[in-house]
Structure 1
Amino acid sequence: MKRKNYNLMIGGAITLFFLAVALIGQFWTPYGTTTMDSMAVNLAPCAAHPLGTDNFGRDILSRVMAGSGSTFFVAVCTVLIGCVFGTIVGALTGYFGGFFDNLIMRFNDILLSFPSILLALIFISLTKPGSYNIILALGILFIPSFARIVRSEVIRCRELDFVKSARILGAGHIRIIFAHILPNAAVSLLTAAAIGFNNAVLAEASMSYLGLGIQPPEPSLGRMLYEAQSYLFNAPWYAIGPGVTIILIILGFSMVSEGLRSMQQ
């Protein structure tokens, strides 16, 4: 009997829960995310404000819901850019090989030798802080990792019998790559995407914490943590809401990636 993949089940449930929270937060929140109440400054969690309020009297639950949406938006767009362009580059270089393959892979090695968050910080500091610049910076920096994974899968499959049969039947190179080889790399790509989501969430939170990410008044989990650090003793709930949310989102993606990895074994 096949063992149940508990990592995938639990991680998927956590991820879907916060995805639902993020989606709901784009259309409805208990209070306005920028609505201030001078009579409810640093209010402890209660029935009216389940996660308490911040130093401006804003409802933390509402801001966490909206901030989760911003985080998911950045993560999804980042991974899409990295996955789409990385898949194209990795598939073509792995299938055709030669000088172009060596050149692209050496460039990939150079990019991968530097921490992506460091390069993203340099890019943002040279341009302008904001969600779209984060997406562009991280998306470009995620391309090499996806390209390497796809390339290895294409090299593994390009001389297998089903590929040779497709060539004999007259299938073109593009059809062989995208219709025959890449479907066999689906699990590897999904695993890489889950890890990419994880890294994108961490990167977005880190840059927003440093003031280089999503800018006020738009809610951001990382920015909320930065604002909460001055109130850790007076209002610890200010940091608990966004902090626990980030931890659980990362935990969910990590368990999903571990579950997908176990499927490959």
Structure 2
Amino acid sequence: MITQNLNEEVQLQNTPKEESKLGNAWYMLKKNKAALVGLVIIIILVLVAILGPLIMPYNPNIGELSQSLQKPSLAHWFGTDEQGRDILSRIIDGTKISLRVGITAVAVALSIGIVVGSIAGYYGGKVDMLIMRFMDIILAFPSLLLAIAFMSVLGKGIDNAIIAISIVTIPEYARIVRGSILSIKDSEYVQAARVIGNSDFAIIFKHILPNVISPIIVRATLGVSNAILDTAALGFLGLGVQPPQAEWGSMLGAGRGYFYNASHIILFPGIAITITVLAFNLFGDGLRDALDPKLHQ
């Protein structure tokens, strides 16, 4: 009888009217105009990445030298680069690279960070100290410099850029997950889950993480913008996507020598990076406010 009551208590704690919570979050999000603007831009970017081959006016990797450094015109809305390639087509083609790296790197770092942070926060003691001191060592270095160091070992390329960016951002998610678990691991419903015989794995991933997922989702959303910036920085330094494939950072790097006589080469990729990062930041900030229960009272 006692076990049955404890089991019912755990179930009640972990079914807090999800529809109501999601409805309140969506209501709060809709009230935030800046967040909606960010969401609309993100949706447009995703559609551009998917439909890129259908909407690109030219082949992004092939150009004519006779058309090099052309200023924006009706034929080339964003002008052409030093090799006569259409900049608009290259920006469209580069959208899928930036989104792919940003989302994939965050997904990998988040997955590992959840596991590492959960172990550290739940078990504590020497395990916690060992894991978090290692995370602190990684955090002691500027993320971009550490990513460059990893790239020098792994080599150039988009896949290695994803690995490098993922590694340097794991500590951020591990610390958030650890702190969230520490705040509720001694709660009554968690103790009840232990009493009825749930395994540590079930307690962490079934009872604890669902109740602390909000700050993790918000940080992951904001983390995409940071990953896109790191991707652009690596591309600017020639360590990310390799020519002739288009990527906004590499376009900036290739065009920096033409700043005075053909500034459009770096202007439009720079705008693309700015708008994308701003969109994810606006949406992430709005999501944080929408998922904050204090604002719903």
Find the counterpart in structure 2 of residue 174 from structure 1.
201
3-state SS in 2 of match to 1:33: coil
The answer to whether the aligner puts 1:262 opposite 2:289 as a matched pair is: yes
**Larger Rg computed on CA atoms:** 2
- Which one of 95, 98, 122 corresponds to residue 122 of structure 2? 95
- Distance (Å, rounded) in 2 between the aligned partners of 1:52 and 1:59: 6
3-state SS in 2 of match to 1:211: coil
What one-letter code is carried by the residue in structure 2 that aligns with 1:181? I
Equivalent positions of 1:36-47 (< 5 A) are 36-47=63-74
CA contact (8 A) 1:24 1:65 kept: no
The answer to whether the aligner puts 1:152 opposite 2:179 as a matched pair is: yes
Find the counterpart in structure 2 of residue 243 from structure 1.
270
Higher mean alpha-carbon deviation, 61-70 vs 32-41, is at 32-41
Find the counterpart in structure 1 of residue 237 from structure 2.
210
Equivalent positions of 1:1-265 (< 5 A) are 4-25=31-52, 29-263=56-290, 264=292, 265=294
Shift of 1:165: 2.7
Deviation per residue, 1:26-83 (Å, 9 max, x gap): 5652211112123422222222222111121111111001111111111112111110
Shift of 1:143: 1.1
- Distance (Å, rounded) in 2 between the aligned partners of 1:118 and 1:149: 23
Shift of 1:112: 0.7
Unaligned runs of 5+ in 1: none
Find the counterpart in structure 1 of residue 7 from structure 2.
none
3-state SS in 2 of match to 1:218: coil
Shift of 1:145: 0.9
CA contact (8 A) 1:11 1:253 kept: yes
What one-letter code is carried by the residue in structure 2 that aligns with 1:47? L
The two structures, once aligned, show a CA RMSD in angstroms of: 1.8
Cα distance change on mapping 1:146 and 1:110 into 2, 3 Å: same
Normalised by the size of structure 1, how large is the TM-score? 0.94
Shift of 1:185: 1.9
Find the counterpart in structure 1 of residue 14 from structure 2.
none
Deviation per residue, 1:87-130 (Å, 9 max, x gap): 00111111111211111111111111111111111111233111
- Distance (Å, rounded) in 1 between the aligned partners of 2:65 and 2:144: 38
3-state SS in 2 of match to 1:35: coil
- Distance (Å, rounded) in 2 between the aligned partners of 1:45 and 1:33: 16
CA contact (8 A) 1:43 1:53 kept: yes
Find the counterpart in structure 1 of residue 10 from structure 2.
none
Unaligned runs of 5+ in 2: 1-23
CA contact (8 A) 1:26 1:69 kept: no
Deviation per residue, 1:127-179 (Å, 9 max, x gap): 31111111111111111111100011111121122222322333222111111
**Number of residue pairs the alignment of both structures matches:** 265
3-state SS in 2 of match to 1:30: coil
